[in-house]
Amino acid sequence: MKKLIWVAIALLYLVVPFFLKDNSYILSLTVSSLIVAGVAVPWALLGNLGGMVSFGHAAFFGMGAYASALLTMKAGLPVLLAIPAGGVVASIASLAMLPALRLSGPYFALAILAYAHIFKILATEFTSLTGGSAGISSIPGLPSLVQADFLTGLGPYLLGLTIVLLFCVVYAWVRKSHYGIALRAMHDSEDATRVVGVNSVLLKSWMLLLSAFMTGTIGAFNAHIINFLEPDYAFNSSWSVLPIVAAIFGGYRTITGPMVGAIVIYLVDQLFFKAVLSSGHQIVLGIVLAAMILFAPDGLLTIFKKRNTGGQHA
């Protein structure tokens, strides 16, 4: 399995850019799919390890985007430093959500959704800082080092891919660490883990902060790709919903499932579903999601793993 992962990474860095180099439209769609993947991975981390289903990751995405844009435009911070700084700001903003950690299930999900709306209202009202509903334009793009001539427009793809893969590495590390073991034990019985000294609220807090940092970082990256922000876009509910669909489709209990699911779902939606149903193509996504939940609740990658295991036994 590890060999397949290394082969896949080599293909993503070496072979895929060769085919995308001369097709700017497909390249831009692929970068967009990586941005969705960059939200799907931290959503899965929070849902799988933290046991918290979030409908409000758009809050972290928007906060990271605005923070990075303003840091580069008003404070003169270099873009490559502003992107992770946007993640830090999103993580700090998530501290306001800590009281919601005492909630569970749909109550937590709805509370996070409410926070996302609050952040959107704040971004709209603070016109002196964010430009309000008019938004911010002329956000600095990626530096020339990333946009080198020999890359011919591949800089955003390579940087986005690197960010998402780093997210997957962090997800894998946390899951294997003693924090991950404690979190999985907490899923079985939170009361029992408290008896043996595990602070469930503290663990959930760390997962929320980490998930917010990742989401804010990819939101910041996106801001420097599109070079424009306004509240309705930065805090759009699609940044919460589409990653959920992608993570469940690919397998949110696996490390790379959310990434694979995001790339497949987004590209198929934009290239095929949208061509068939220009105005209602997202309905098809709902049908696909329902089918996956009914027939393959563990996701796409789990199906392939079972087939490979079956073939080895045969």
Pick from 163, 164, 54, 150: nearest CA to 100: 54
Q: Does 148 have pLDDT greater than 80?
A: no
Q: For the whole model, what pTM was predicted?
A: 0.89
Give the C-alpha separation, 1 to 303, whole Å. Answer: 14
What CATH number corresponds to the domain at position 297?
Answer: 1.10.3470
Neighbouring CB atoms inside 10 A of 278's CB total 8
pLDDT of residue 311: 45
- In this predicted structure, the answer to whether residue 276 has a pLDDT above a threshold of 80 is no
Cβ neighbors of 134 (< 8 A, separation 6 or more) are 127, 230
Alpha-carbon distance of 256 to 247, in angstroms, equals 9
Which residues fall within 8 angstroms of residue 27, CB to CB, at 6 or more apart? Answer: 20, 21, 153, 154, 157
Residue 1 has pLDDT above 80, yes or no: no
* pLDDT per residue as tens digits for the range 194-247: 655 667 778 889 999 999 999 999 999 999 999 999 999 999 988 988 898 888
**Segment 13-41, tens digit of pLDDT:** 888 888 887 888 899 999 999 999 999 99
- % of the chain exceeding 90 in pLDDT: 42
CB-CB contact of 227 with 74 (8 Å): no
User: Alpha-carbon distance 17 to 203, whole Å?
Assistant: 39
Q: What are 260's two structure tokens?
A: 């694979």
Q: What are the phi and psi torsion angles at 289 (to 5°)?
A: -60, -45
CB 303 within 8 A of CB 296: yes
Contact present, 93 and 57 (Cβ < 8 Å): no
Residue length, the chain?
314
For residue 108, what are its two tokens? 């937590």
- Indicate whether 294 pLDDT > 90: no
What is the domain count for the chain? 1
- Structural domain boundaries enclosing 300: 2-313
The amino acid sitting at 137 is: S
Q: What is the largest CA-CA distance in the chain?
A: 67
Check if the beta carbon of residue 302 is closer than 8 Å to that of residue 254.
yes
Beta bridge partners of 137: 228
Nearest to 223 by CA among 148, 123, 149: 123
Q: Name which of 81, 61, 62 is nearest 71 in CA terms.
A: 81
Query: Rounded to whole angstroms, how far apart are CA atoms 93 and 63?
Result: 8
- Please report the pLDDT score of residue 284 as a whole number: 75
Distance CA 258, CA 311 (A): 25
- The Cα-based distances of 60 to 54, 125, 184, 259 in angstroms read 11, 18, 25, 18
**Buried residues in 101-130 as b, exposed as e (16+ CB within 10 A):** beeeeeebbebbbebbeebbebbbeeeeeb
Q: What angle do CA 36, 42, 43 make, to 5 degrees?
A: 80
pLDDT tens column, 42-91: 999 998 887 788 889 999 999 999 999 999 999 999 999 999 999 999 99
Measured in whole angstroms, the distance separating CA 294 from the mean position of its chain's CA atoms is 24
